Amino acid sequence: MGFDLLSELPKLLWLVIGVAGFLAVFGVLLLAVDRGPRTRREWWQAACFLGPAALLLLVGLVYPVVRTTVLSFMDGPGQAWVGLRNYAWMFTRPEILVVLRNTLLWVLVAPALATATGLVYAVLVDRARYESLAKSLLFMPMAISFVGASIIWKFVYAHRPAGSDQIGLLNQVWTLLGGEPRLWLLDQPLNTLLLIVILIWIQAGFAMVILSAAIKAIPTDIIEAARIDGVSPLQLFWRVTLPMIWPTVAVVLITISVQTLKVFDIVRTVTGGQFSTSVIANEMYNQAFRYGELGQGSALAVFLFVLVVPLVLIQIRSTRRSREAQ
Amino acid sequence: MAPSPTPTTTSPSARRAPLAAARRPARAAGAALLPLVLLASGCGYLAGETGGGGADPGSAACEPYAQWQDIGGSVEMYGPIRDDEAERLRQAWQEFSDCTGIAIDYEGSGEFEAQIQVKVDGGNAPDIAIFPQPGLLARFVESGDALPLPDGAADLAREGWTEDWLSYVEHDGELYATPQASNVKSLVWYSPTVFEENGYEVPRTWDAMIDLSDTMAGDGLKPWCAGIESGEATGWPATDWLENAVLREHGPDVYDQWVEHEIPFDDPKIVESLERVDGILRNPDYVNGGHGGVKSIATTSQQDAGLPVNEGECGMYMMGSFYAANWPEDTDISEGGDIYAFNLPAIDEEVGTPIVGGGEFAAAFTDRPEVVAVQEYLATVGFADSRASLGRWFSAHRDADLELLENPIDRLSAELLRDPDVVFRWDGGDNMPAAVGSGTFWRGMTDWINGKGTEETLTYIEDSW
């Protein structure tokens, strides 16, 4: 089927309706602000402008959180109370323990390596020739969706029997070095590490861009002073650059950690969660939507939520602190 | 998004001139009204968009649909059938729609199993859904969302299909769905050309099949190929192996007990059957023709796995009748051609060769007159024949016209299914709770291929039930 403008017309119309709806809401809102009481005007304005956002937050965030938490204490179809059984299940079933272990592995390895890669790259290309070209090379994978990147890497890890042409880059290199073609995605925990490489490939560019900007923001007089004192490049990095950009590094680390905790697409696309590579987000989807085990899926979701909250709190606190420092 | 042209309360002209201030609310009201008008007219256009049918209800072609005329309306249908196959489905009921004026709005989704639950929970249930697994439908029967078949459709279904088929959608004596497409999962694909060249014969017993495998291995041909990779459903082809072995080795009664969890999943009988499968699937002398070693089964996709049979690199491939669509276009699929299939031979002569198979069922969530009409139409042999004549599809309907099946494998399968002496059992995994049947069973078998112990695997699945 080719692209037929006429058959796409309803979609375009929906778009117009969407935009018009947005404008209508906005217009009505402004009208309400305008017609509001003359007394306590600030309060009225604040209520009008914050109200819709608060309402959406309530419907889209608070309500689901409460409902999911309630469901996590109920059975599969969400009809009877089971107390803490779902949580007990989560921490005793061997395959769920593997899921928790994998998530831990992801959180420990992926943010650190992605940030480190981005940082080293940013330092190395800083003020080098063709800096922008070098930076855009690392940044480009950011433009690829997780699923797209996963499909690309699935080909990299592909396997063909010994003797035939390898279509997977990794096995091609491996056989050139004299190895037998391997089924890379089968052996745990190596397979989880290979999946983590995909996330690093996507996220290192993000870390690099942010950190590079932070490095450029270091006042040159500090660096010159250090140079006059005769530091080696390594000393400059450890004693001056890194401490100066540490708040930014922390923000990048936390952002990628949150990304990592909710990783889903990579695992689902490359292995489908098989071969002991599943992670919490994946298992949550499986339990709740594929197996109809709402209780167990919700328990996993709540656990994931609990893991993310401290990271978000740290993020908020560090942003507030850096704002106060300015 | 472009900024809104709406004037704001801090507009400088408004602050300066009192006259302008009087006009301000009018302008704001106009700005608020215009989008509302757009909104209303746009929605109106979309709502009135559905077109009418073209055929003359009085014509001879419309004769079979006379009972459903003067109903009209439109029916929303949702199912896992997509793309090309969905198009054939639409063509199959086109005449019905033209003659009766009942529009069938079909939407296919690759995420059907997960999405149907979301739709029903969200109050968005389709009028009719096509279920690929009776176990999934049973969930909605239990929750009271799915409705029993209207009497007319139920009578048609009882006339058309065997008890074995209907038993899967019968709850408390009421039928809940009409059988649609069907398939046979006990087939072994092979190349008649290769068999003839080497003097191999289609085996009549399991032991003969093992002897044949040894002969092939001795001749330097890997006798079997297999692949269980299938996205998030990875593992299911291996479960088909176990189901076939259990059904052939211990008979339908033990099979039913196993599927209904009346005997443990890791009962010694089941262990025995999985060890039998072990002798083929995890035997390095037998597998994996054209793909590598035993473990390559885990990463080879189910679609690609059988292709080496056609290239003479693999002797046999066990896979359902639907695999016919995977061979290259110019392949001659026939008894003396490039590719054909035989029914997996009997292990125990007394049990014979019962069939493991599957298919689809259409069940309804609403009972408007037009939905009832479509339910009845889907239960007729007329629909089965109409769809079958478009290719790659067959029904287990007793009166279906076999001459319409152009693919010899479809015909072979349809003949097997309608034979009153043949015992039919639904793919067991589909009737287990979803967490087992499409969860730990698939995962367990994948781990088993990847080297986990036979008993250990079955115990793992048993513990999850």
B409-432 pLDDT per residue, tens: 888 898 888 887 888 899 988 888
pLDDT at B292: 85
Q: Which residues of B touch A22 (CB under 8 A)?
A: 1, 35
Amino acid, single-letter form, for residue B210: I
Q: Which of residues 279-308 of B touch A (CB under 8 A)?
A: 290-293, 295-296, 298-299
SS3 at position B78 = strand
Q: Walk across the sheet containing B187-190 and list its strands.
A: B316-318, B187-190, B340-343
Q: Between A35 and B157, whose confidence is greater?
A: B157
Yes or no, beta carbons of B25 and A35 under 8 Å apart: yes
> How many CB atoms within 10 Å of residue B355?
22
Yes or no, beta carbons of B42 and A274 under 8 Å apart: no
In a domain, A285, yes or no: yes
Yes or no, beta carbons of B39 and A286 under 8 Å apart: no
For residues B175-194, average pLDDT: 92
Q: Which pLDDT band, with edges at 50, 70 and 90, does B49 fall under?
A: very low
Q: Minimal Cα distance from B115: which residue of A?
A: A289
Q: Which of residues 180-199 of B touch A (CB under 8 A)?
A: none
Nearest to B232 among A19, A23, A268 (CB): A268
pLDDT beyond 50 at B94 = yes
The reply to whether A10 touches chain B by the CB within 8 Å rule is yes
Yes or no, beta carbons of A31 and B29 under 8 Å apart: yes
Amino acid, single-letter form, for residue A26: F
N- to C-terminal Cα separation, chain B: 52
Q: Which residues of B touch A36 (CB under 8 A)?
A: none
Those residues with Cβ within 8 angstroms of residue A53's Cβ, 6 or more apart along the chain or in another chain: none
The reply to whether A163 touches chain B by the CB within 8 Å rule is no
Pairing status of strand B170-171 against strand B340-343 = unpaired
- How many distinct structural domains can be found in chain A? 2
Which of B4, B39, B456 to mutate to probe the A interface, most A CBs <10 Å?
Answer: B39
Element (H, E) at B104: strand B103-108
Q: Which long-range contacts (CB under 8 A, 24 or more apart) does B111-120 make?
A: B112/B78, B112/B79, B112/B80, B113/A290, B113/B80, B113/B434, B113/B438, B114/A285, B114/A289, B114/A290, B116/B78, B116/B140, B117/A289, B117/A292, B118/A289, B119/B78, B120/B145, B120/B365
CB-count burial class (<10 Å; 0-12, 13-18, 19+) for A224: exposed
Q: How far is A150 from chain B (nearest CA, A)?
A: 13
Q: Minimal Cα distance from A93: which residue of B?
A: B464
Could you give the CA distance from residue A209 to residue A112 in angstroms, rounded to a whole number? 16
**Which residue positions in chain A have pLDDT lower than 50?**
1
Indicate if A259 and A201 belong to the same structural domain: yes
Q: Rounded to 5 degrees, what angle do the CA atoms A95, A100, A106 make?
A: 125
Q: Which of residues 183-222 of A touch B (CB under 8 A)?
A: 183, 185-186
Could you give the CA distance from residue A27 to residue A36 in angstroms, rounded to a whole number? 14
In a domain, A79, yes or no: no
Confidence check on the interface: ipTM exceeds 0.90, yes or no: no
Indicate if A290 and A175 belong to the same structural domain: yes
Indicate if A46 and A194 belong to the same structural domain: no
Yes or no, beta carbons of A161 and B35 under 8 Å apart: no
Q: Which of residues 274-293 of A touch B (CB under 8 A)?
A: 274-276, 285-287, 289-293
Could you give the CA distance from residue B426 to residue A230 in angstroms, rounded to a whole number? 79
In a domain, A80, yes or no: no
Indicate if A117 and A29 belong to the same structural domain: no
Task: Tell me how far the alpha carbon of residue B311 is from its chain's centroid.
Answer: 28
Yes or no, beta carbons of B435 and A23 under 8 Å apart: no
Closest CA to B137 of B172, B177, B102: B177
pLDDT beyond 80 at B23 = no
Give the length of chain B: 465
Q: Where are the alpha helices (DSSP H) in A84-128?
A: 85-90, 94-125
Which residue has 């890194």 as its token pair? A242
Those residues with Cβ within 8 angstroms of residue B311's Cβ, 6 or more apart along the chain or in another chain: B290
Nearest to A10 among B32, B46, B434 (CB): B46
Indicate if A50 and A111 belong to the same structural domain: no
This prediction has a pTM of 0.77
pLDDT at B5: 39
Q: Which pLDDT band, with edges at 50, 70 and 90, does B405 fall under?
A: confident
Q: Which pLDDT band, with edges at 50, 70 and 90, does B20 fall under?
A: very low
| Same CATH fold assignment for domains B69-184+357-415 and B187-353+432-463 | yes
Closest CA to B93 of B123, B124, B55, B121: B55
Domain extents in chain B: 69-184+357-415, 187-353+432-463
Indicate if A98 and A64 belong to the same structural domain: no
pLDDT at B50: 40
Q: Minimal Cα distance from B26: which residue of A?
A: A31
Are B395 and B181 contacting, i.e. CB atoms less than 8 angstroms apart?
A: yes
pLDDT beyond 90 at B258 = yes
Yes or no, beta carbons of A161 and B39 under 8 Å apart: no
> How many CB atoms within 10 Å of residue A207?
28
Those residues with Cβ within 8 angstroms of residue A169's Cβ, 6 or more apart along the chain or in another chain: A155, A156
The reply to whether A160 touches chain B by the CB within 8 Å rule is yes
Closest CA to B361 of B218, B91, B171, B102: B171
DSSP at B352: -
Q: Rounded to 5 degrees, what angle do the CA atoms B345, B347, B349 make?
A: 95
CATH of domain B69-184+357-415: 3.40.190.10
pLDDT at A256: 92
> For the domain B187-353+432-463, what is the CATH superfamily, name and number?
Periplasmic binding protein-like II (3.40.190.10)
Nearest to B435 among A77, A183, A293 (CB): A293
In a domain, A264, yes or no: yes
The reply to whether B122 touches chain A by the CB within 8 Å rule is no
For residues B154-159, average pLDDT: 92
Yes or no, beta carbons of A161 and B296 under 8 Å apart: yes
Q: Which pLDDT band, with edges at 50, 70 and 90, does B308 fall under?
A: very high
Q: Which residues span the domain enclosing A264? A: 92-325
Q: Between A26 and B126, whose confidence is greater?
A: B126
In a domain, A77, yes or no: no
Could you give the CA distance from residue B28 to residue B9 in angstroms, rounded to a whole number? 9
Which of A186, A278, A287, A296 to mutate to probe the B interface, most B CBs <10 Å?
Answer: A186
Question: In CATH, what number is assigned to the domain containing residue A183?
Answer: 1.10.3720.10
pLDDT at B4: 39
Closest CA to A166 of A151, A185, A180: A180
- Give residue A163's region: left, alpha or beta (phi > 0; psi -120 to 50): left
Nearest to B296 among A14, A159, A276 (CB): A159
Could you give the CA distance from residue A211 to residue A116 in angstroms, rounded to a whole number? 10
Indicate if A162 and A235 belong to the same structural domain: yes
pLDDT beyond 60 at B352 = yes
pLDDT at A185: 87
Could you give the CA distance from residue B14 to residue B24 in angstroms, rounded to a whole number? 7
Final residue belonging to a domain, choices A71, A106, A121: A71
pLDDT at B10: 38
pLDDT at A29: 86
pLDDT at B8: 37
